[in-house]
Amino acid sequence: MTPAPFEYIRAETVEEALAALAEYGDEAAILAGGQSLVPMLAMRLARPAVVIDIGSLAGLDHVARDDRAVSVGALVRHRRMELDAEIARALPVFAEAARFVATPAIRNAGTVGGALALGDPAAEYPAVALALEARLRLASTRGERCVDAADFFIGAMETAAAPDELLIGIEIDAAAPGDGFGFYEIAERRGDYALAGAVIVRRAETGTAGARVRVAIFGAGEVACLAEGAAAILSDAPAPAWDAGLLQAVKDATRDDLRDLALDAFHARLAGVAVARAARQLAEGEPNERRAA
Amino acid sequence: MKRVVLACEVNGARITAEVEPRTTLADFLRDALAFTSVHIGCGHGVCGACTVLVDGRTRRGCTTLAASAHGRRVETLEGLSDASDPVIAGLQRTFLDHGGLQCGFCTPGILLAARELLARQPAPDRAEIREALAGNICRCTGYGPIVDAIAAYVAEQAE
Ligand SMILES: Cc1cc2nc3c(=O)[nH]c(=O)nc-3n(C[C@H](O)[C@H](O)[C@H](O)COP(=O)(O)OP(=O)(O)OC[C@H]3O[C@@H](n4cnc5c(N)ncnc54)[C@H](O)[C@@H]3O)c2cc1C
Ligand code: FES
Ligand code: FES
């Protein structure tokens, strides 16, 4: 399997990458970790005239934390999201999700920016970004802007990024005391793309006993999306009261939420199961089995 | 198409070459440098037969462009064989003892994946071994003997 020929530009700075994007626009493809783009080139599903390699560019591989938020550079690899101590503390649901992205050698190469910019409906990160209300930072020679995850993922392999824009990083509010999460993925084999998966993030509301719950779904539909009906049920009840009856209601609500978005009834049903299991994890504080890999 | 310059280290030797941008690292290592432990099974990231190390970490040779290896340290199983790497040497022995390979097509990738697991977790259980090998497909052994071979190496080290 050999890709069709293309010109290759090795960008050493963000400015070089942006200048090349401005020049070639939709003729060009950004190459980050290459774990989606190189297979697409090999299968000739993508035939860009120019490939702009940002994989060795300096300055986009930071994990930085201030008192409120965590900023993650676009070139941070999945493996680091899985193992980094700061991510484990501040964005534990992201660390959990990273363990489910492909297999170790692919996680060593693939990047946060690539997995988000691709907008694959079966990928974990878009749903994590929705549940965590991530802000995505885009840059071009025209300037910089910040897009909420809720406005970024538009359709299958379709995002709000313009052809000349580079995703440079994301910002997410760090977990606070009282927050919790659940993550559940249904896949045929470990490391495969999900048939359906759910990410639940519970943010404690400061000064009250209440919490706000967000539920995001991946794999089951044309695009990662929020399940708002399911989230409303979970927001209204304190987690210890999430019994079997409530979880059944959450399952039904998820299927309802996905009425127009699910690939079919089977995927909508799986999504409901994933949400119920993720909710149970959150309530019981019992995450997926931990394995060194 | 314009060729690009690639300067990197492969199995300890500095090399400089001109490559077509579309050449994958796996093709480059096999065709230009004759490191034929880099097997090409699927050619699109699924099977793990093309596993190499880039800057010390496992990488798919088929989903990495050769041009992207510029400035990096690349190792193939050849660079870690002939007793130069004690973990690979030990695993090669237990793989032979336990029938951890039949045709051997998957073996270089599996050895490198196992070595990476052992660097992080020196005493993995069988489930951890299986999870670390989830990205490496073997068409012959049914995996049991591979897990046996790695578990036997782990047991030896614990003695
Ligand atoms: C066998 C296999 C299994 C996989 N399983 C999963 C899985 O279960 N879940 C999952 O999420 N992924 C999976 N992946 C894909 C993997 O996670 C990729 O790493 C990820 O999708 C893309 O990241 P990358 O850095 O490799 O991007 P690349 O492949 O380099 O690029 C992907 C796309 O994003 C664009 N892009 C990359 N970076 C930027 C940027 N900073 N700004 C703008 N555009 C950019 C590229 O132009 C390209 O279109 C799998 C891959 C393989 C080969
Ligand atoms: S040949 Fe590279 S993963 Fe199959
Ligand atoms: S021994 Fe033949 S593929 Fe594994």
What letter represents residue A72's amino acid? V
Nearest to B58 among A3, A55, A105 (CB): A105
Report the C-alpha gap between A97 and A199 in whole angstroms. 9
Provide the domain count of chain A: 3
Map residue B51 onto helix, strand or coil. Answer: strand
Strand-pairing partners, residue B74, are B10, B54
CATH number of the domain at B4-80, please? Answer: 3.10.20.30
Q: Are residues A194 and A278 in the same domain?
A: yes
> What CATH code is carried by the domain that includes residue A249?
3.30.390.50
Q: What is the pLDDT of residue A293?
A: 52
Q: What is the pLDDT of residue A291?
A: 55
Topology annotation, domain B86-158: DNA polymerase; domain 1 (1.10.150)
What letter represents residue B50's amino acid? C
Which candidate in B1, B3, B6, B60 is best for mutational testing of the A interface (most A CBs within 10 A)?
A: B60
pLDDT mean across residues, chain B: 97
Residues in chain B: 159
- Token pair belonging to A133: 């209300």
Map residue A153 onto helix, strand or coil. Answer: strand
Whether this model's ipTM surpasses 0.85 comes out as: yes
Q: Are residues A187 and A272 in the same domain?
A: yes
- Token pair belonging to B43: 């050619």
Mean of pLDDT values over A181-201: 94
Residue A292 lies in a domain: no
Report the C-alpha gap between B95 and A260 in whole angstroms. 52
Sheet holding A28-31, edge to edge: A7-10, A50-53, A28-31
Give the model confidence (pLDDT) of A40-62 as tens digits: 999 999 999 999 999 999 899 99
- Are A29 and A8 a contacting pair, CB within 8 Å? no
Residue A1 lies in a domain: no
Q: State the pLDDT confidence band at B159, using cuts at 50, 70 and 90.
A: confident
Q: For a pocket test of ligand 2, which of B44, B59, B105, B137 has the largest count of ligand atoms closer than 8 A to its C-beta?
A: B44
Residue A190 lies in a domain: yes
Report the C-alpha gap between B126 and B131 in whole angstroms. 9
How is chain B split into domains, by residue range?
A: 4-80, 86-158
- Measured between beta carbons, which residues in chain A are less than 8 angstroms from residue B1? 5-7
pLDDT mean across residues, chain A: 94
Of the residues A130, A148, A173, the one at which a domain ends? A173
Mean of pLDDT values over A233-246: 88
Restricting to A residues 53-92, those with a Cβ less than 8 Å away from any Cβ of B are: 53, 55-56, 79
Residue A58 lies in a domain: no
Which candidate in B18, B53, B68, B125 is best for mutational testing of the A interface (most A CBs within 10 A)?
A: B68
Residues 6+ apart with CB under 8 A from A282: A180, A181, A182, A200, A202, A239, A242
Q: How many CB atoms lie within 10 A of CB A44?
A: 11
- Token pair belonging to A199: 């990410």
Residue A199: give the domain boundaries.
180-287
Residue A108 lies in a domain: yes
Report the C-alpha gap between B1 and B67 in whole angstroms. 14
> What CATH code is carried by the domain that includes residue A25?
3.30.43.10
Q: What is the pLDDT of residue A205?
A: 82
Query: Structure pTM?
Result: 0.96
Report the C-alpha gap between B146 and B136 in whole angstroms. 11
% of chain A exceeding 90 in pLDDT: 87
